Amino acid sequence: MRFKNVLYPLPVVAILLATWWLAVDLSHSLIFPTPLAVLRGTLELARDGTLWLHIGASLLRVATGFMLAVVAGVPMGLWMGRVDTVYRTLNPIFQMLRPISPIAWIPVTILWFGVGNMSPVFLIFIAAVFPLIVQTSAGVHTIEKRYLRAAENFGVSRSVLLRQVIVPAVLPEIIVGMRIGLGVAWLVVVAAEMIAPVSGLGYLIIDSRNSGSRYDLVIGVMIIIGLIGLLLDGLMRRLEGMKTVRWRYGR
């Protein structure tokens, strides 16, 4: 099955590469690179270590902002899901803030945190925390009442109910919220790095364009961003297959 998952997209990738190469060749473009030129430029960055430094900087920012979002968003979602008054009070506020693009926060973020690492970390936090809150609270509301009634019949305390019933039951929704939040966070960090910091993949794209119009590096970094995003999504999907996550559905 894993082999098929890799094999099926290969013809489409080959067709896209051939179309790309043919389009550049027929147009006689002096600026837009061929796939081979992109590969050479990317290998050049990889050999001198520049590529790995920028990848590490972006991943570190994403990991920091995303973990802060998990630490804040999951407890908030559980609280909103369990206490109806809190849900009625905070849900409209979060639903109002959630559709605001994280990119729109960039001017305010620079005003608050300057142009250092805190700006992209805050933008990642904003991007990831709202999906986590909304998905977690929705997951608590969908827990079947029989689980809660069974726990009450056994006289379990609130802490035990939270640890052994509510959290395991809502884990699938938490993972979904984490998957959505991480995808948006990876998108946001690249955009934020184009404006604020002096490292990361977003900065590398702008720097490559400005320093001699190295569009081979621009396209190469774009492809790397997509591949890393695919890898991160695959890691999150692995969490969905854990037994502690799937028990609620009786599989």
Residue 21 lies in a domain: no
Residue 42 belongs to what domain range?
A: 33-249
For residue 18, tell me if it sits in a domain. no
75 vs 49: CA distance, rounded Å = 40
Q: Is residue 8 part of a domain?
A: no
Tokens standing for residue 177: 């919220």
Q: What is the CATH number of the domain that holds 134?
A: 1.10.3720.10
Q: Are the CB atoms for 128 and 73 separated by under 8 Å?
A: yes
Q: What angle do CA 180, 185, 191 make, to 5 degrees?
A: 135
Q: How far apart, in whole angstroms, are the C-alpha atoms of residue 101 and residue 204? A: 23
Q: What is the pLDDT of residue 144?
A: 75
Apex CA 106: angle with CA 105 and CA 108, to 5°?
70
Three-state secondary structure call for residue 32: coil
Is position 215 within any domain? Answer: yes
What is the total count of domains within the chain?
1
- E-assigned strand segments in the chain: none
- pLDDT for position 246: 58
DSSP state of 33: P
Say if 24 falls within a structural domain: no
Cα–Cα dist 23/17, whole Å: 10
Q: Is residue 6 in a domain?
A: no
Decide if 178 is inside a domain: yes
Question: DSSP string covering 149-185, please?
Answer: HHHHHTT--HHHHIIIIIHHHHHHHHHHHHHHHHHHH
pLDDT at residue 24, rounded to an integer = 86
Angstrom distances, CA of residue 182 to CA of 8, 38, 78? 26, 27, 19
Structural contact between residues 58 and 202, judged by C-beta atoms closer than 8 angstroms: yes
Whole-number pLDDT of residue 251: 39
Per residue of the chain (251 residues), give pLDDT as tens. 566 666 777 888 888 889 988 988 888 877 888 889 899 989 988 998 889 999 999 999 999 999 999 999 999 999 998 888 999 999 999 989 888 888 888 888 888 888 778 888 999 999 999 989 998 998 888 877 777 777 777 777 777 777 777 888 888 888 888 888 898 899 888 888 877 677 888 888 888 888 767 888 899 999 999 999 989 888 888 877 676 665 554 43
Which tokens in the block code for residue 166? 């509510």
